[in-house]
Amino acid sequence: VQLQASGGGLVQAGGSLRLSCAASGRTISRDTVGWFRQAPGKEREFVATLFRSGSNTYYKEDVKGRFTITRDNAKNTAYLQMNSLRPEDTAVYYCATSGSAILSSIRDAKTYHYWGHGTLVTVSS
């Protein structure tokens, strides 16, 4: 199973980026798909998740209303649309999936079995 994250880059504050997470070796249409991020010197943190095969989404509080997680089953790819970016959003962003997540654990990185390598997002002020 491989998850290939892409779409990161350098953007000015207020700008937008769309991250992609292309899966191979596993169909993710029924998985819980999550995005996490890790800023320099900080621990990896939960950003957003799309729970199982439905449309229920959950977000870190400070990205609500700015970030949107979606999935294209035909392309076996998940996305994270990030708008109104702030310098504090600067981090390496990782996508991850789990076939057995439960709702109470979706913010826990240990819930996710498969991880991509990450893509760097840098937001300048």
For residue range 36-91, what is the model confidence (pLDDT) as tens digits? 999 999 999 999 999 998 889 999 999 999 999 999 999 999 999 999 999 999 99
pLDDT at 120 over 90: yes
pLDDT at 30 over 90: yes
Q: What's the pLDDT at 54?
A: 83
What's CA 50's distance to the chain center, in Å?
9
CA dihedral of 106, 86, 81, 95, whole degrees rounded to 10: -40
Tokens of 30: 């029924």
Burial of 58 (0-12, 13-18, 19+ CB in 10 A): middle
Q: What's the pLDDT at 28?
A: 95
Is residue 101 helix, strand or coil?
A: coil
CA dihedral of 99, 102, 108, 110, whole degrees rounded to 10: -40
